[in-house]
Amino acid sequence: MPVVAEHLSSQQQDALRRLREELEQDAVFCPEDSLGRDDASLLRFLRARNFSVQQSKRQIYECLEWRRTCEGVGIDELYRSLDPYNYPEREDVFKCWPMWFHKKGRPLNVHFFGGINMPELYKSVSPERHWQTVLVNAESLTREVLPAASASAGQHVDQTFVVVDLKGFGLQQFWQMKGLVRRSFQISQDYFPETMGQLAIINAPMSFTAIWAV
């Protein structure tokens, strides 16, 4: 569903127009690039950079470079070779990453961090393969999940609602997954900006803030 231009201020509309014109003038996109060039895609980068055209351009350049080199093959080839919804280890991975839908139509992604046992998970999927599933699931959000959510809701849906459930979360889980979680959130921020509309942390132990700051 198209982004309604009336939702943007005149300054924001001007920034969108300038960004598109400058990207076209610089011939940034190759024909095979799958990064969206529609208003919704460009607006994600503009919002992430407070509608600074130059900073948005820089982030798009960096995003395109990452997409072309990701895992040594590029995100498109990785997505073709690893179906995010149909691979042998999917059930083991998705025990901790189920998805539902928020009442406003946003995809609702729940992370049961307290229930994750990384060594056990890595008995069925290697760390490298698991990281690749993280990447293709991030890619599926803009390719498939959000368009499907928009069609289902009958309105434009461009963000998710993420719930992090920390029931049972302790030092063991922290040391197992700290790097993975921070790396995942960095990928989302750098290459899939403004796709997380809301983050809710529930059942957090009193020690969580101190632990996470380590």
User: Tell me, what DSSP letter sits at residue 199?
Assistant: E
Residue 99, pLDDT score: 58
Tokens coding 128: 């490298």
One fold for 5-77 and 88-212 = no
* Whether residue 70 has pLDDT greater than 90: yes
Six-digit token string for 190 = 């750098």
pLDDT at position 96:
52
CATH 3.90.79.10 for domain 88-212, yes or no, is: no
**pLDDT-derived band of residue 75, with 50, 70 and 90 as boundaries?**
very high
Q: Give mean pLDDT, residues 49-57.
A: 98
Q: Which of 58-72, 77-91, 131-145 has the highest mean pLDDT?
A: 58-72
In the chain, where are the structural domains located? 5-77, 88-212
Per-residue pLDDT band for 121 (boundaries 50, 70, 90) equals confident
Average pLDDT score over residue span 173-183: 81
Asked if residue 112 has pLDDT above 60, the reply is: yes
pLDDT tens digit sequence for 1-48: 455 555 899 999 999 999 999 999 998 888 888 898 899 999 999 999
pLDDT over 50 at 193, yes or no: yes
b (16+ CB within 10 A) / e for 120-149: ebeeebeeeebebbbbbbbbbbbbebbbeb
Question: Could you tell me the fold of the domain covering 5-77?
Answer: Helicase, Ruva Protein; domain 3 (1.10.8)
User: Phi first, then psi: what are they for 161, rounded to 5°?
Assistant: -115, 115
What is the percent of the chain where pLDDT is above 70?
A: 87
| pLDDT confidence of residue 211 | 62
Closest CA to 130 of 117, 141, 142: 117
Of residues 98 and 196, more confidence is placed in 196
What is the largest distance, in Å, between two alpha-carbon atoms of the chain? 54
